[in-house]
Amino acid sequence: MTICIGALFKWNYAQPGQPLDLGPAAIAISDRMITAGAGDIEYEPLQRKMWFPSDRIVVMIAGDYTVHSQAIKETSKQIRNNPGVGPYEVAKVLGANIQAIVRKQAEDLILAPIGLNTDTFLAQQKEMSEHVASALTAQLQDFVGPDVRALVVGIDNLSSHLYEIDGHGTVRCYDDVGFAAIGIGASHANSVMTQNGYYNNLSLAPALAVAYTAKKAAETAPGVGTNTDIQIILRGGGFPIWHGVQDRLSFLYAEYANKRSAIAMEAVQKLQEFINAPENSSTPTVSQTAASARTVGTGNREEAGCSPSTGTEDKTDAAEPDETKPA
């Protein structure tokens, strides 16, 4: 129950008066909605829902907060002594920890009640009947853990990167796509990004405008929060978007939304005026259209040689065979 959006763009690193120097940059946008347990806990606290493994990497999460909390703590321990860790390394470690948590949940639910864990099950598998071993294996393989996903957004010395991690711990790269979204509002956000032809070579203003519009569209989905946090990531590190820029962005979006609604209403009104115009009075009514459809249907049946009243073959116009002539 949330929305998180990652988007890659290009930043001009040139000093004033110097030639254009476009380089890697990224945007991370999320609400603050948190879901825990079976979904019975859902609220939007006064804190950002982002984790910063380094000053150039942001991790955003969607789904069961308790799973993410445990996975992030384990990941933080494992990368603590690697200050130069990159986005892909973070994604791999975090994915492996999510996978381990889900596997432990399956073990607790399926194996623990019969006095087994993963290690003992593997060790004793050959001693079990084929039916029991197969049944337990199938249950473990079919186990569906909590629906958790994460986005890792960041840059290294060469380029910007965007990775999605699913509930199985699988890592997918969206560098070439240029954007990705997770959470219940993801379909709404992805629709806006694709309709606007988003790609990873946009500059900040158009990238920010499309990504923010995508987040606002996602708010129509149930469970998406209205608070919006925006993190900009550059070569020198990441930082929350400038306060004045976010305020202006919010104002311009509201202005755009109002104008869009007004244009839509105007288009509907013009269509109604066209329909009501005297010169268009010959437009068929619903009853006329239905009558025309019945006439067309009858015509088709007559052409097929059927009587419209009985549906039987009409032979009145058919030539009778001349039995006096030899075959």
Looking up residue 74, the CATH number of its domain turns out to be 3.60.20.10
Q: Is it the case that residue 293 has pLDDT exceeding 80?
A: no
Please provide the average confidence, as pLDDT, over all residues in the chain.
87
Domain boundary among 241, 257, 276: 241
Q: Is residue 310 part of a domain?
A: no
* pLDDT at residue number 153: 98
Greater confidence (325 vs 177) lies with 177
- Domain identity same for 176 and 250: no
- Domain identity same for 168 and 180: yes
Q: Is residue 312 part of a domain?
A: no
Q: Is residue 111 part of a domain?
A: yes
* pLDDT at residue number 41: 74
- Domain identity same for 218 and 270: no
The per-residue pLDDT for range 82-100, each reduced to its tens digit, is: 888 999 999 999 999 999 9
According to DSSP, the β-strands at 22-30 and 34-36 are unpaired
The per-residue pLDDT for range 38-60, each reduced to its tens digit, is: 666 777 777 888 999 999 999 99
- Domain identity same for 37 and 155: yes
For residue 227, what are the contacts with CB-CB under 8 A and spacing of at least 6? 31, 32, 44
* pLDDT band at residue 308 using 50, 70 and 90 as cut-offs: very low
Neighbours of 152 (CB within 10 A): 29
- Domain identity same for 81 and 133: yes
- Domain identity same for 226 and 88: yes
The per-residue pLDDT for range 231-263, each reduced to its tens digit, is: 999 999 999 999 899 999 999 999 999 999 999
Neighbours of 8 (CB within 10 A): 28
The per-residue pLDDT for range 4-16, each reduced to its tens digit, is: 999 999 999 999 9
How many domains is the chain partitioned into structurally?
A: 2
- Domain identity same for 273 and 170: no
Q: Is residue 235 part of a domain?
A: yes
- Domain identity same for 179 and 30: yes
Residue 291 lies in domain: 242-301
**Residue 269 to residue 79: CA distance in whole angstroms:** 60
- Domain identity same for 269 and 232: no
Q: Is residue 311 part of a domain?
A: no
- Domain identity same for 217 and 252: no
Q: Is residue 211 part of a domain?
A: yes
- Domain identity same for 187 and 283: no
**pTM (two decimals):** 0.80
Domain boundary among 195, 220, 241: 241
Domain boundary among 216, 241, 266: 241
Q: Is it the case that residue 70 has pLDDT exceeding 50?
A: yes
- Domain identity same for 79 and 144: yes
- When mean pLDDT is compared across 82-91, 168-177, 306-315, the lowest value belongs to 306-315
Q: Are 162 and 173 spatial neighbours (Cβ–Cβ below 8 Å)?
A: yes
* pLDDT at residue number 144: 84
Q: Is residue 324 part of a domain?
A: no
Q: Is residue 318 part of a domain?
A: no
Q: Please give the average per-residue pLDDT across 208-221, as a whole number.
A: 96
